[in-house]
Amino acid sequence: MAAPEFIKPLLRVLVVDDERSVRNTITQQLTQNGFVAQAHESPFSALEALAGAGWDCVLTDICMPTLNGLKFFEEIKRSHPQVAVIFMTAYGDVKTAVRALHSGAADYLTKPFEFAELKMRLSRLAEQLNLGRELASLRATINDLVGEHRMVGDSSAMQETRALISRFARLPSNVLIVGETGTGKELVARALHAQSGQTDKPFVALNCGAVPSELAESELFGHEAGAFTGALKRHKGRVELAEGGTLFLDDVDDLPLNIQVKLLRVIQERTYERVGGEQPLTARFRLVSATKMDLQKLSAEKRFREDLYFRLAALIIPVPPLRERKEDLPLLAHYFLHILAKEQGRETKQLSAAALQNMQAYNWPGNVRELRHAMEYALAMSCGREIPAHDLPSSILGAARHKIYVINMEGCESVDARALLANFESDLIQWALRKAHGRHDKAATLLGYPRTTLLRKLKECQ
């Protein structure tokens, strides 16, 4: 993936103010800085302009003689809900502007303000709008994925995994899938079967770690009636059930050593007997195994048969952990939210930017399985249409608590450090100005800057 670009996308802005000098000056400054801007004296003419072109933002005064700014905002919200509104207000009208923020306005600026402040607010708004577009794109992608047995993600690691699946799917050789717990190894096995050309044949799975050792042989090879206490009738094992199709042995590293010997015989000779039986049965299946452990290391420690390892690992597919493909995290998270909401008959929710930042800072030791559980928790905790960061599990929040600024560098081969640091400082200054309600002296104190330093940095941003 190429290094990220730090040029923020510019917006299309309507400037609405009954004072000619104010609206013309702001419109001229916006145009000179690459924005598309248009000045309007009246909210009514601005509404006509909104009806005819794709504007992103309305920058409007609150106190205007023809139409109150709040009434103007309500009309925009009703007829053009996708358009963001930023208020320009005198200091005495700040409470009114704050009330508008609670009703859905994007931001406000206290007059008089410097253009650098407006530019930073608009840059932040552009990032938020881009996030919204990305989420819309995610929703479209998710709609294509729902109902299909396929792996979600387009990172380079997942592309490599999918390429191996396609290459190995129609080969008769045994396949070993290697990956940490929760990475989706069974999904890889099912994808191999789905692309094998044998989808009319059975796919039979056995979790070797979930079967008691004394029952492992019966589960795998079946048993005859009376073979042991409680065996009242003949039982078909997974090998027999997988006839002509795919047998998937998950957590094969948990298979007892005495059963490993019997499995090796089946692979080599393609024959076996049920427990308590004497009649040889023919085994015809494609064997796909999965392990969370290093089987070569286990073999060296005499905990796994080396000859069986070499039989199982004719072809190997590694499955990357989630921490190595975090660029897939937003799509995966929203996919799970969509699936879970559908299962529960609830409205699909979206993750806030802050929630995604916390999730990107987390290491995900439980991988994709842990992510699904986290989204199930967040969906249960959240009351609104957007999931805030504080509705995530505490383990995820705790991992990012010591960080106040999260940068996602996953997939980057290089980075422009100067641009990144400038972007970082710009965001800090914007935060301070917002918290200080536009007061330079208070914002400088929040940042630990002398006031002159803050003013100089604001001038550099122009």
Buried b (16+ CB within 10 A) or exposed e, 38-47: bbbbebeebb
304 shares its domain with 171: yes
Q: What amino acid is encoded at 132 in this protein?
A: G
- Count of domains observed in the chain: 2
Please give the backbone phi and psi of residue 458, each rounded to the nearest 5 degrees, phi first: -65, -40
159-200 pLDDT, tens per residue?
A: 999 999 999 999 999 999 999 999 999 999 999 999 998 889
- Average pLDDT taken over every residue of the chain: 85
Residue 141 binned pLDDT confidence (cut-offs 50, 70, 90): low
161 shares its domain with 99: no
Buried b (16+ CB within 10 A) or exposed e, 266-301: beeeeebebbbbeeebebebbbbbbbbeebeebbee
The C-alpha atoms of residue 60 and residue 44 are separated, in whole angstroms, by 12
The whole-number pLDDT of residue 92 equals 60
The answer to whether residues 71 and 45 touch, using CB atoms and an 8 Å cutoff, is no
pTM over 0.85: no
Tokens of 177: 């899938």
The answer to whether residues 336 and 294 touch, using CB atoms and an 8 Å cutoff, is no
400-419 pLDDT, tens per residue?
A: 554 555 555 555 667 777 77
- In a 10 Å sphere around its CB, with 0-12 CB exposed, 13-18 middle and 19+ buried, how is residue 35 labelled? buried
91 shares its domain with 169: no
Tokens of 413: 């081969």
Supply the CATH number for residue 303's domain.
3.40.50.300
Q: Is the pLDDT of residue 143 over 90?
A: no
209 shares its domain with 305: yes
41-64 pLDDT, tens per residue?
A: 999 999 999 987 789 999 998 888
258 shares its domain with 195: yes
The C-alpha atoms of residue 279 and residue 272 are separated, in whole angstroms, by 8
Rounded mean pLDDT, 5-19: 73
Range of the domain at 95: 6-113
Where does a domain end: 319, 335, 355? Answer: 319
Q: Which residues contact 364 (CB under 8 A, 6 or more apart)?
A: 321, 322, 323, 370, 371
Supply the CATH number for residue 76's domain.
3.40.50.2300
196 shares its domain with 271: yes
The C-alpha atoms of residue 250 and residue 208 are separated, in whole angstroms, by 6
